[in-house]
């Protein structure tokens, strides 16, 4: 090899997943989690076959949108822009859904432009490849050829084309557009090799197609593919392993022996994180899909370890999974279905101060007091406020904060944060109303608030009023500007200090709750709405839809069909559970428990399987020499296995005698363990190892591109590609 | 890596690399090896098949489906999921395809699953047993060209592949598979019909024998999928209640059988053993002679947690391969010949001048040949039968090479340059019809 080869900082890593695609340019000194995360979806562009990273809307007649320079453009007939004017706080336009979205589009515009600028600077030649068409659509632009107005919308997922389905590439055009988009965003130099993590279910032709695209469109000097299971295994650095990669709609199960993927036996089952969503949705049909998803991601959703009863359910021996499709676990316990959403009392309990504020303001104090009485009665049943201090697994009900991306935020100029103007009625039924029905309300309500042109919250300094905003953050949502983000938290601080003075003993606990909320609020962007949703014990049942058993059984099949039977036990001893789908609290343990409970050969008999023959009996040979007297055949002794175990313990000597036969394996697995998490990657420790596939990709890239320099054919070079074509990808 | 790759350092980062685009398109051939238990497929030139899917398929009754009157479930995962009413069937009978519609679907799945989304682009090599009749060979040809639209195709006897895989142009191939154990003499790459024998004493037979043996012992053979959990016990009389799952329906018996096969397979791997000598297996295992030599017990745990030590009874089922009269489950009809007898018959049918060559080149392959110590037994039997000439058994030492021997041979054949003249092209098929196979590939 001539030349210095590739440099660490000139390597592009791409790991496509069903939901999000991870990417990074350059290998850092110490390997880090992926720097960039793209949703694995594209939107159909304006022309046939064109795909854009963001949803593009056409401005309809009479609609207005905000431009970067603070101007508002109104679309006229045929989408032609008819007027421009400056927006000031006094003249708030009567907004429509579409109009306000331009607020969200704003930051993208800038970003898109810089990307394009970079691209133009660095790679003028590439411009004429036609690859940069997408960028031209960025932002609200008036184009000569097309006088219509378009704008991008970050949040709208409607019409999105998801590139991968259960790992398979469902839409090639969109997938390639995504790759192009990633490539353009990162904008690597010409001699940046690319390493892509491949999904196990990609066929050989799929890989060839990708290889062809990468070489012909992205002009890379080197391209490698690393199987996701191999990458995960590399991150853990174990020789033999069983990799269980729980994805969104599928789980890949692969056994690796001597670093090699057992290609024939690996399998992909159609269970993943989304199956848990579906199951939860079945249990909690009143929640929207988005709410379910956030419930699953919240820390109250967990899978309890064996032996820990679901609170309120007597049955310790609870039915893990009854049937794969139809859950029959519903209603197993007596008081398990508190139906929080039907009882306003519960809701209040959760929303706490906010609702008190609301109630007082709305004059519903009488009703409220009645409900407090009801709560006191509930206290006896252990449902009272004090229960909030209990750990999650002991509580029958718990709540999580639902953050909803609100698309119909009001067009604001960034100065008027006036969160106090929310009608009380709205807040009361926040829990009940599904997202869809809420939207029109928000618009209506927003216009009310606009009309009133409320004073800033500091002015309405009664301690109860601003508290409302902590929970129901209409205000911060309504402000698209970053400025609002800054004011938001400090605002809340002041509110909290206000609450402190309150006499009510309950407040103390609720403060903690709200502090947590506040944190999330700070982290969250504007254009969001939060609400608390309380759920019952359903939150412990996310994995009861059959996912654990399905994975366990498939894992057993995969390992049992691994050809090298003596190394099967090694695989069982380093099980790696990775992937985004296994992030649910307790999932990994529960999965391991399921496997152990069903498939591990019981420990009491474990040692017998280490040897075929008792140590005191010489091997019977074909000639009949060394034939001892018959040993006991009686198989029915109660403790047969233990007796034999004791007798057999140290004898392995006989194995070499059977020349013609492949040695017989032992029944297994006798022990199942999770592989040890590698310790020398500090950045990953905090991030968690669910995405360790990306760590493996970095290790792989380092070896293939930097250390090895292609000596072991770890990747396809341009020359290989030119001589062999896309099939070169199979020779690595 | 003939030329130096255009690496960095040679090119400044802003220069676009030279574009010498790849022009030609060389598509690799696919090798399909359909068996009764699994169907193997992969690219020619590789050393193991890429996919190995069960030939068993599930069918969920659905009166609306015109073609199969049910929904087909093909592949490892679908047939291992509990579905109400799903019946497990097999499109093969007698080691050859019986149900062509389903077999075609399975082959297609096998290819499209992980190999290629463009089935019509690859030349296809298919293996067949030697007893495949003309009608079926023509049908295979038709499917490959009409259904798959393959550009080229060839049909090869699996015994030939197996002898090639063991780098022997001439061999007596003993293929111990799932449905059949067959013996085929291959001389210089040509299989001889005369002298080829087969028997059902194979993997499936073993499984059925063991199933019978277990049920005679009173073992509850609840498979993993129907159980919630297990409770370890070793006394059948005091068996704890089964902790079965309630599906709300009863899975079809054929499904349960298939699931039982999974642990029976494990039993075959870990516990079953072949008696290594001819004719010394005790006639009555319950009444052993005093001077009988000891054998080691092996323990096995069943999915429901039952643990049992197996002594001489673990030799019983494998013994029935050689001596069908000891079968735990009596064989109905005529008692077949044992495997060793069959090999002897085959040799006896051959011309005297090639017998020594055959005996010296016995190739034993197939999944059932992985049964512990079966080769020792075969060796012993044959030495006893043919004391004069040198008997030599060749058997690959690697498990995949035994299991995928026919596939591997096909892979070698299809990737060697000379073979390319043998392909039957689509054009030839269009001109002659399905009968081309009889003219071109005997």
pLDDT at A522: 54
pLDDT bracket for residue B34 (50, 70, 90): very high
**Is B362 touching A (CB cutoff 8 A)?**
no
pLDDT bracket for residue A128 (50, 70, 90): very low
State how far the alpha carbon of B328 is from the alpha carbons of B204, B294, B295, in Å. 14, 22, 20
CA distance B365 to B178: 12
CA dihedral defined by A709, B50, B112, A723, rounded to 10 degrees? 30
pLDDT at A506: 56
Question: Cβ(A311)–Cβ(A574) under 8 Å?
Answer: no
- From A325-329, A421-425, B173-177, B282-286, the region with the lowest mean pLDDT: A325-329
Q: Do A633 and B3 touch (CB under 8 A)?
A: no
pLDDT bracket for residue B139 (50, 70, 90): very high
pLDDT at A439: 40
pLDDT bracket for residue B212 (50, 70, 90): very high
CA dihedral defined by A124, A127, A128, A130, rounded to 10 degrees? 170
CA distance B431 to B12: 57
Q: What is the mean pLDDT of residues A73-99?
A: 46
Q: Do A667 and B301 touch (CB under 8 A)?
A: yes
Suggest the residue from A127, A261, A264 to mutate for an interface test with chain B (most B CBs closer than 10 A): A264
Q: What is the mean pLDDT of residues A341-347?
A: 37
pLDDT bracket for residue B33 (50, 70, 90): very high
Residues B277 and B219 in one domain: yes
pLDDT at A601: 86
Q: What is the mean pLDDT of residues A403-429?
A: 43
**Is A639 touching B (CB cutoff 8 A)?**
yes
* Interfacial B residues in 207-236 facing A (CB < 8 Å): 224-225, 227-230, 232, 234-236
Nearest CB neighbour to B375, from listed A190, A560, A661:
A661
Residue B168 CB contacts under 8 Å (≥ 6 apart), including other chains:
B186, B361, B363, B394
Instruction: Classify A404 in phi/psi space as left (phi over 0), alpha (psi -120 to 50) or beta.
Output: beta
**CATH code for the domain of B218:** 3.90.640.10
Q: Do A644 and B307 touch (CB under 8 A)?
A: no
pLDDT tens digit sequence for A486-522: 444 444 444 444 444 444 545 555 665 666 556 555 5
**Is B26 touching A (CB cutoff 8 A)?**
yes
Contacts of residue A607 in chain B, CB cutoff 8 Å?
none
Question: Residue B128: pLDDT above 80?
Answer: yes
pLDDT bracket for residue B108 (50, 70, 90): very high
Range of the structural domain that residue B388 is part of: 167-200+337-395
pLDDT tens digit sequence for A704-718: 888 877 677 778 888
Measured in angstroms, the CA of B245 and the nearest CA of chain A are apart by: 6
Q: How many domains does chain B have?
A: 3
CA distance B373 to A664: 9
Nearest CB neighbour to B77, from listed A554, A614, A659:
A554
Residue listed under structure tokens 């690697």:
B398
pLDDT at B338: 92
Question: Residue B374: pLDDT above 70?
Answer: yes
Residue A410 CB contacts under 8 Å (≥ 6 apart), including other chains:
A92, A95, A100, A446, A447, A449, A450, A478
Reference A352, options A532, A522, A523; nearest CA is A532
Contacts of residue A268 in chain B, CB cutoff 8 Å?
77
pLDDT bracket for residue A365 (50, 70, 90): low
For domain A1-40+163-237+678-732, the CATH superfamily is ATPase, nucleotide binding domain (3.30.420.40)
Contacts of residue B35 in chain A, CB cutoff 8 Å?
none
Nearest CB neighbour to B301, from listed A605, A638, A709:
A605
Residues B239 and B296 in one domain: yes
Residues B211 and B179 in one domain: no
Nearest CB neighbour to A604, from listed B15, B118, B232:
B232
Q: Do B297 and A665 touch (CB under 8 A)?
A: no
Q: Which two tokens stand for residue A151?
A: 């704008």
Measured in angstroms, the CA of A553 and the nearest CA of chain B are apart by: 8
pLDDT at B190: 92
Question: Residue A106: pLDDT above 50?
Answer: no
Question: Residue A277: pLDDT above 80?
Answer: yes
Q: Do A718 and B5 touch (CB under 8 A)?
A: yes
Q: What is the mean pLDDT of residues A321-344?
A: 34
CA distance A452 to A107: 28
The interface pTM score, or ipTM, of the predicted complex is 0.89
* Interfacial B residues in 102-131 facing A (CB < 8 Å): 112-118, 121
Residues B212 and B304 in one domain: yes
Question: Residue A57: pLDDT above 80?
Answer: no
Reference B419, options B193, B128, B164; nearest CA is B164
Which of the pair, A529 or A559, is modelled with greater confidence?
A: A559
**Is B242 touching A (CB cutoff 8 A)?**
no
Residues B246 and B318 in one domain: yes
Measured in angstroms, the CA of B352 and the nearest CA of chain A are apart by: 28
* Interfacial A residues in 291-320 facing B (CB < 8 Å): 319-320
Residues B178 and B210 in one domain: no
Residue A709 CB contacts under 8 Å (≥ 6 apart), including other chains:
A1, A5, A6, B7
Does some domain include residue B84?
no
Residues B297 and B349 in one domain: no
Q: Do B234 and A641 touch (CB under 8 A)?
A: yes
Q: Tell me the average pLDDT of chain B.
A: 87
Q: B326, B355, B387: which is the final residue of a domain?
A: B326
Is the previous residue joined to A669 through a cis bond, with omega within 30 degrees of 0? yes
**Is A127 touching B (CB cutoff 8 A)?**
no
Which of the pair, A430 or B384, is modelled with greater confidence?
A: B384
pLDDT at A54: 75
- From A7-21, A325-339, A651-665, B420-434, the region with the lowest mean pLDDT: A325-339
pLDDT at B127: 95
Residue B350 CB contacts under 8 Å (≥ 6 apart), including other chains:
B185, B192, B194, B195, B358
Q: Do A664 and B270 touch (CB under 8 A)?
A: yes
Residue of B nearest to A329 (CA): B246
Residues B105 and B131 in one domain: yes
Residue listed under structure tokens 């600077």:
A121
pLDDT bracket for residue A482 (50, 70, 90): very low
Range picked from A8-17, A292-301, B159-168 for highest mean pLDDT = B159-168
Residue listed under structure tokens 């959703």:
A301
**Is A712 touching B (CB cutoff 8 A)?**
no
Give the domain ranges of chain A: 1-40+163-237+678-732, 45-153, 344-537
Residue of B nearest to A721 (CA): B22
Instruction: Count residue pairs from A and B with Cβ separation < 8 A.
Output: 272
pLDDT at A315: 47
Could you give the count of Cα atoms lying within 13 Å of A660 in the half-sphere of its Cβ? 22
**Is A330 touching B (CB cutoff 8 A)?**
no
**Is A711 touching B (CB cutoff 8 A)?**
no
Residues B35 and B154 in one domain: yes
**Is A9 touching B (CB cutoff 8 A)?**
no
Q: Are β-strands A64-66 and A71-75 bridged in parallel, bridged antiparallel, or unpaired?
A: antiparallel
Residues B196 and B341 in one domain: yes
Residue B82 CB contacts under 8 Å (≥ 6 apart), including other chains:
A323, A324, B225, B226, B247, B251, B255
Question: Residue A271: pLDDT above 80?
Answer: yes
Could you give the count of Cα atoms lying within 13 Å of A50 in the half-sphere of its Cβ? 16
pLDDT at B206: 94
pLDDT tens digit sequence for A156-170: 667 788 888 888 888
Question: Residue A205: pLDDT above 80?
Answer: yes
Q: Do A667 and B2 touch (CB under 8 A)?
A: no
**Is A224 touching B (CB cutoff 8 A)?**
no
Nearest CB neighbour to A710, from listed B5, B49, B227:
B5
Does some domain include residue B1?
no
Question: Residue B429: pLDDT above 90?
Answer: yes
Mark out the alpha helices in A187-236 (DSSP H runs).
204-217, 228-236
Question: Residue B94: pLDDT above 70?
Answer: yes
Residue listed under structure tokens 């491949």:
A198
Query: Cβ–Cβ contacts within 10 Å for residue A135, how many?
Result: 20
Strand partners, A182: none
Q: B273, B298, B326: which is the final residue of a domain?
A: B326
B83 by DSSP, 3-state: which? coil
Q: Do A216 and B21 touch (CB under 8 A)?
A: yes
**CATH code for the domain of B363:** 3.30.420.40
Which of the pair, B414 or A528, is modelled with greater confidence?
A: B414
Residue B277 burial (CB < 10 Å; 0-12/13-18/19+)? middle
Residue of A nearest to B235 (CA): A638
pLDDT at A69: 54
Question: Residue B249: pLDDT above 70?
Answer: yes
Residues B183 and B144 in one domain: no
Strand partners, B58: B73, B88
Q: B270, B296, B326: which is the final residue of a domain?
A: B326
Give the phi and the psi of residue A404 in degrees, each rounded to 5: -110, 130
Suggest the residue from B82, B251, B299, B394 to mutate for an interface test with chain A (most A CBs closer than 10 A): B299
Question: Residue B99: pLDDT above 60?
Answer: yes
Contacts of residue B270 in chain A, CB cutoff 8 Å?
609, 664-667
Which of the pair, B271 or A127, is modelled with greater confidence?
A: B271
Helix (H) or strand (E) holding B53: strand B51-54
Question: Residue A613: pLDDT above 80?
Answer: no
Query: Cβ–Cβ contacts within 10 Å for residue B141, how many?
Result: 26
Q: Do A557 and B76 touch (CB under 8 A)?
A: yes
Nearest CB neighbour to B393, from listed A204, A660, A666:
A660
Q: Do B269 and A664 touch (CB under 8 A)?
A: yes
Contacts of residue A659 in chain B, CB cutoff 8 Å?
376
Measured in angstroms, the CA of A517 and the nearest CA of chain B are apart by: 40
Question: Cβ(A726)–Cβ(A715) under 8 Å?
Answer: no
Nearest CB neighbour to B5, from listed A636, A660, A719:
A719
CA A143 to chain centre: 38
CA distance A264 to A269: 15
């Amino acid at each position: 090899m001539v030349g210095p080869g590739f440099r660490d900082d000139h390597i592009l890593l791409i790991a496509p997943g069903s939901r999000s695609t991870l990417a990074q340019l350059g290998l850092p000194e110490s390997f880090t989690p992926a720097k960039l995360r793209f949703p694995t979806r594209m939107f159909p562009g304006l022309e046939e076959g064109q795909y854009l990273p963001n949803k593009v809307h056409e401005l309809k007649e009479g609609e207005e949108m905000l431009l970067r320079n603070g101007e508002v453009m109104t679309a006229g007939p045929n989408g032609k822009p008819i007027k421009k004017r400056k927006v000031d706080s006094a003249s708030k336009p009567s907004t429509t859904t579409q109009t306000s979205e331009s607020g969200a589009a704003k930051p993208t515009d800038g970003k898109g432009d810089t990307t394009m600028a970079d691209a133009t600077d660095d790679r003028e030649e590439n411009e004429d490849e036609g690859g940069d068409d997408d960028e031209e659509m960025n932002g609200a632009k008036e184009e000569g050829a097309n006088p219509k107005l378009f704008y991008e919308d970050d949040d709208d997922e409607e019409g999105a084309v998801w590139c991968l389905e259960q790992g398979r590439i469902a839409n090639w055009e969109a997938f390639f557009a995504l790759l192009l988009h990633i490539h353009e965003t990162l904008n690597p130099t010409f001699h940046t090799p690319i390493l892509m993590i491949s999904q196990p279910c990609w066929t050989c032709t799929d890989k060839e197609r990708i290889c062809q695209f990468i070489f012909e469109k992205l002009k890379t000097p080197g391209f490698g593919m690393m199987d996701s299971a191999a990458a995960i295994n590399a991150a853990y650095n174990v020789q033999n392993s069983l990799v269980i990669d729980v994805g969104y709609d599928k789980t890949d199960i692969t056994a690796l022996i001597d670093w090699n993927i057992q290609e024939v036996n690996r399998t992909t089952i159609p269970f993943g994180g989304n199956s848990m969503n579906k199951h939860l949705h079945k249990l909690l049909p009143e929640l929207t899909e988005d709410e379910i998803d956030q419930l699953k991601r919240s820390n109250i959703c967990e899978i309890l370890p064996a032996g820990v009863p679901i609170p309120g359910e007597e049955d310790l021996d609870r039915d893990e999974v009854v049937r794969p499709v139809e859950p029959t676990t519903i209603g197993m316990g007596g008081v398990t279905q508190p139906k929080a959403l039907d009882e306003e009392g519960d809701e209040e309990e959760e929303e706490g101060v906010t609702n008190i504020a609301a109630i007082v303001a709305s004059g519903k104090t009488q009703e409220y007091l009645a409900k407090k009485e009801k709560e006191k009665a509930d206290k006896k049943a252990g449902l009272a406020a004090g229960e909030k201090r209990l750990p999650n697994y002991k509580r029958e009900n718990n709540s999580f904060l639902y953050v909803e991306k609100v698309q119909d935020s009001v067009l604001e100029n960034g100065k008027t944060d006036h969160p106090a103007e929310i009608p009380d009625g709205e807040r009361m039924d926040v829990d009940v109303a599904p997202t869809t029905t809420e939207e029109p309300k928000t618009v209506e309500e927003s216009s009310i608030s606009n009309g009133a042109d409320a004073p800033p919250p500091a002015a309405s300094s009664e301690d109860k009023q601003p508290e409302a905003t902590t929970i129901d953050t209409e205000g911060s949502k309504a402000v698209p500007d970053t400025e609002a983000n800054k004011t938001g938290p400090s605002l809340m601080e002041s509110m909290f200090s206000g609450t402190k003075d309150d006499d009510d003993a309950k407040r103390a606990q609720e403060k903690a709750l709200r502090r947590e909320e506040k944190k999330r609020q700070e982290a969250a962007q504007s254009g969001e709405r939060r609400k608390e949703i309380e759920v019952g014990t359903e939150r412990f049942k996310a994995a009861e839809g059959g996912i654990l058993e399905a994975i366990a059984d498939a894992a057993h099949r995969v390992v049992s069909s691994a050809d090298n039977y003596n190394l099967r036990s090694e695989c069982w001893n380093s099980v790696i559970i990775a992937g985004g789908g296994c992030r649910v609290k307790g999932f990994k343990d529960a999965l391991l428990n399921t496997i152990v409970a069903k498939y591990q050969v019981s420990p009491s008999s474990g040692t017998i399987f280490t040897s075929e023959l008792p140590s005191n009996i010489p091997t019977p040979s074909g000639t009949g020499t060394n034939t001892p007297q018959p040993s006991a055949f009686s198989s029915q002794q109660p403790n047969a296995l233990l007796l034999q175990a004791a007798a057999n313990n140290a004898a392995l000597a006989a194995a070499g005698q059977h020349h013609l036969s492949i040695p017989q394996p032992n029944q297994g697995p006798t022990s199942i363990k999770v592989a040890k998490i590698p310790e020398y990657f500090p950045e990953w420790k905090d991030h968690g190892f669910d995405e360790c596939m990306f760590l493996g990709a970095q290790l792989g890239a380092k070896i293939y591109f930097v250390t090895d320099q292609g000596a072991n054919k770890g990747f396809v070079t341009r020359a290989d590609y030119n001589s062999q074509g896309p099939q070169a990808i199979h020779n690595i | 890596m003939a030329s130096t790759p255009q690496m960095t350092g040679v090119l400044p980062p802003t220069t676009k690399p030279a574009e010498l685009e790849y022009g030609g398109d060389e598509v690799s051939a696919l090798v399909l090896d359909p068996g009764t238990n699994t169907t193997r497929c992969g690219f020619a030139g590789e050393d193991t098949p890429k996919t190995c899917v069960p030939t068993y398929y599930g069918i969920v009754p659905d009166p609306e489906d015109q073609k199969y009157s049910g929904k087909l479930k093909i592949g490892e995962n679908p047939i291992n999921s509990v579905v109400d009413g799903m019946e497990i069937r097999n499109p093969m009978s007698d080691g050859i395809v019986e149900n062509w519609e389903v077999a075609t679907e399975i082959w297609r799945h096998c290819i499209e699953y992980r190999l290629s989304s463009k089935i019509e682009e690859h030349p296809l090599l298919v293996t067949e047993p030697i007893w495949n009749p003309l009608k079926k060979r023509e049908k295979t040809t038709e499917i490959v060209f009409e259904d798959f639209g393959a550009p080229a195709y060839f049909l090869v006897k699996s015994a030939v592949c197996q002898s090639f895989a063991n780098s022997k142009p001439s061999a007596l191939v003993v293929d111990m598979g799932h449905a059949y154990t067959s013996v085929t003499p291959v001389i210089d790459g040509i299989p001889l019909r005369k002298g080829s024998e087969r028997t059902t004493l194979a993997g499936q037979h073993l499984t059925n024998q063991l199933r019978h043996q277990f049920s005679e012992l009173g073992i509850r053979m609840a498979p993993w999928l129907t159980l919630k959990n297990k409770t370890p016990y070793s006394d059948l009389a005091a068996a704890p209640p089964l902790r079965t799952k309630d599906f709300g329906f009863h899975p079809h018996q054929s499904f349960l059988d298939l699931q039982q096969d999974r642990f029976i397979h494990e039993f075959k791997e870990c516990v079953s053993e072949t008696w290594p000598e001819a004719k010394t297996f005790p006639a009555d295992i319950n009444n052993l002679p005093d001077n009988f030599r000891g054998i080691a017990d092996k323990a096995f745990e069943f999915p429901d947690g039952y643990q049992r030590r197996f002594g001489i009874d673990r030799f019983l089922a494998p013994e029935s391969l050689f001596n069908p009269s000891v079968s735990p489950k009596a064989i109905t009809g005529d008692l077949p010949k044992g495997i060793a007898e069959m090999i002897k018959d085959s040799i006896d049918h051959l011309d005297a001048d090639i017998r020594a060559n055959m005996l010296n080149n016995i190739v034993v392959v197939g999944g059932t040949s992985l049964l512990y110590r079966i080769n020792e037994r075969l060796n012993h039997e044959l030495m006893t039968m043919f004391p004069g000439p040198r008997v030599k058994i060749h058997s690959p030492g690697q498990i995949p090479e035994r299991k995928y021997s026919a596939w591997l041979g096909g892979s070698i054949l299809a990737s060697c340059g000379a073979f390319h003249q043998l392909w039957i092209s689509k054009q030839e098929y269009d001109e002659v019809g399905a009968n081309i196979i009889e003219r071109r590939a005997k």
